[in-house]
């Protein structure tokens, strides 16, 4: 008998296949005492296991590239955390085995993260995965992870660790379903980058029986359990229709009545360039530069190293717009040379531009490298600062750009509600703004993007979030300047139309989402998009807003 379940669709497409479950987590090691003379040997085992897991995560990141590399290298730093290692060695010194010491030390750190506010609590899943990998290595048992299979399947898990998601083989993993996670979780972002249909935050997902046939609609967020022949045909026809529409979708982003909406790509490094170009990106709306800094948390890369990497990206987009975000460190990406002191809640502390202004040499070197990289190239370089809170922040960044001799447009990311409400003030100092809807939603609703229990407040369709976007877009229009969206909200084709109706001037997303957004935007006039935006903002909840906008665009 067919059953329909609903979660949160985070990656477009339809997948039909048998359920396979993620390998189980490592069991808790027994608590047994070791003789004092064995402590040195056990400490050596622990260090070797932690170093090996860190190296494995780094290697996986290098294979995956792009956004996956950023996430995995952050996990690698967890495995090498000197305070965690010191705690492990202390526990071994008083009689714990290496595996039990690792388990207990990570549990203690886990409790600190869970109680440090919503933002850091969301990193618990990543920490658990690192712990499981270290303990598995020490116990000599298989790593938890994606099951071995010669036949394609739909992967089901409580949550997917970035290390597993990053190296999924789309030829075997048709799609995936998780019980936890949210629309902007690490796994959701990586799924979109891979082009694998995915539904997250699906209650009861792990209760699906192994081998059960399911149909996953990553666009609608629906999962059909044991679909009958009619439902299969319906979904396959829908998938074929979407595929045909995508194949026919080329050229710039434009509404059916000719209103231009440039469609740009979010990239995490040079490895993402080919995918963005192939997908027809009109430029880069968000170039994340953090990957350059994660290899060595003790020191920043040199100006020479940075210049070479930035130039390789700029050369790939001649005569097109490339928006670079300067280093966004802090919170879940602490760097010893930039974030030396502990904070009770780093997500609300010294992160982003605040950290850079506290270490002006790091910011100056990055801006200098960008200026040198762009020298002589026919590219429209724009540079923006993360986590800008007010006009004073925007002014400080603009002054730093001018002092570095940067001949580019400089702007501010709007990720804090105060910045959205006062965008007009920011634009007296900078030349453009770009909305980071992931963090803007997180701070607006006090709802961490990694926590499945609060996923409904991370839904970019929330009318309060649409109100903030409208406020920023209106202020930009009044100032005669641009207001883009570079958060994952832009990857939702229907929401892309609503954002256009709100007055957003460009949309940036994972490259795999570009054809879906391009083809959908081309179906509607600007006026229809504006009516859909108004209908969405008139509602009180995300699901109601989505339905209202859909009804307007479908002519109901």
Report the catalytic residues. Answer: 186, 486
392 contacts: CB under 8 Å, gap ≥ 6: none
Contact 367, 329 (CB under 8 A): no
For residue 483, list its beta bridge partners: 433
The span from the CA of 350 to the CA of 40, in Å, is 38
- Among 182, 198, 74, 192, residue whose Cα is nearest residue 445: 182
The span from the CA of 205 to the CA of 199, in Å, is 10
- Helix/strand/coil for 470: helix
Buried b (16+ CB within 10 A) or exposed e, 525-546: ebebbbbbbbbbbebeebeebb
What does the DSSP assignment read for 8-62?
Answer: EEEE-SEEEEEEEEPPPPPPPPP--B--GGGHHHHHHHHHHHHHHHHHHHHHHHH
The span from the CA of 308 to the CA of 75, in Å, is 26
Q: Which residue has the tokens 């968000």?
A: 286
- Among 175, 183, 194, 161, residue whose Cα is nearest residue 272: 194
The span from the CA of 449 to the CA of 183, in Å, is 7
493 contacts: CB under 8 Å, gap ≥ 6: 12, 513, 516, 517, 519, 520, 521
């Amino acid at each position: 008998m067919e059953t329909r379940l609903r979660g949160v669709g985070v990656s477009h497409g339809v997948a039909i296949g048998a359920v396979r479950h993620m390998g189980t987590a490592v069991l808790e090691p027994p608590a047994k005492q070791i003789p004092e003379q064995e402590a040195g040997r056990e400490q050596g085992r622990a260090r070797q296991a932690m170093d090996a897991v860190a190296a494995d995560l780094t290697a996986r990141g290098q294979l995956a590239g792009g956004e996956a590399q950023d996430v995995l290298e952050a996990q690698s730093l967890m495995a090498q955390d000197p305070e965690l290692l010191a705690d492990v060695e202390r526990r071994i010194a008083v009689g714990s085995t290496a595996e039990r010491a690792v388990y207990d030390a990570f549990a203690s750190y886990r409790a600190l993260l869970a109680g440090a506010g919503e933002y850091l609590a969301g990193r618990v899943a990543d920490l658990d995965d690192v712990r499981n990998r270290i303990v598995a290595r020490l116990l000599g048992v298989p790593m938890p992870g994606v099951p071995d299979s010669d036949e394609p399947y739909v992967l089901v898990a409580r949550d997917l660790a970035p290390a597993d998601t990053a190296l999924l083989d789309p030829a075997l993993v048709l799609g995936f379903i998780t019980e936890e996670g949210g629309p902007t979780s690490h796994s959701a972002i990586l799924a979109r980058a891979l082009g694998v249909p995915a539904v997250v935050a699906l209650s009861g997902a792990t209760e699906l029986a192994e081998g059960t046939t399911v149909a996953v609609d990553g666009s609608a967020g629906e999962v059909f359990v044991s679909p009958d022949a009619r439902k299969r045909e319906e979904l396959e026809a829908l998938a074929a229709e979407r595929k045909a529409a995508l194949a026919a979708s080329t050229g710039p982003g434009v509404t059916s009545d000719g209103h231009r909406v440039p469609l740009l790509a979010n990239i995490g490094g040079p490895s993402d360039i080919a995918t963005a170009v192939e997908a027809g990106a009109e430029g880069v709306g968000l170039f994340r530069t953090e990957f350059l800094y994660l290899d060595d948390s003790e020191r920043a890369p040199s100006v020479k190293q940075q210049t070479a990497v930035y130039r390789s990206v700029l050369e790939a987009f001649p005569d097109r717009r490339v928006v670079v975000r300067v280093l966004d460190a802090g919170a879940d990406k602490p760097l010893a040379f930039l974030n030396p002191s502990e904070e009770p809640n780093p997500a609300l502390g010294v992160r982003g531009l605040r950290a850079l202004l506290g270490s002006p040499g790091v910011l100056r070197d990055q801006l200098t490298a960008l200026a040198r990289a762009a020298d002589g190239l026919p590219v429209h370089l724009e540079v923006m600062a993360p986590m800008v809170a007010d006009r004073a922040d925007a002014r400080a960044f603009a002054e730093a750009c001018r002092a570095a001799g940067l001949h580019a447009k400089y702007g501010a990311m709007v990720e804090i509600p105060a910045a959205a409400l006062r965008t007009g003030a920011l634009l007296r100092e900078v030349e453009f703004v770009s909305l980071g809807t992931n963090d803007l939603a997180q701070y607006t609703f006090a709802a961490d993007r990694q926590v499945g229990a609060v996923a409904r407040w991370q839904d970019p369709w929330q009318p309060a979030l649409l109100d903030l976007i409208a406020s920023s877009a209106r202020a930009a229009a009044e100032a005669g300047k641009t207001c883009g969206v570079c958060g994952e909200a832009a990857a939702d084709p229907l929401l892309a139309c609503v954002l256009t109706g709100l007055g957003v001037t460009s949309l940036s997303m994972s490259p795999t989402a570009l054809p879906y957004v391009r083809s959908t935007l081309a179906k509607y006039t600007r006026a229809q998009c504006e009516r859909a935006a108004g209908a969405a903002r008139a509602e009180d909840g995300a699901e109601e807003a989505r339905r209202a906008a859909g009804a307007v665009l479908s002519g109901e």
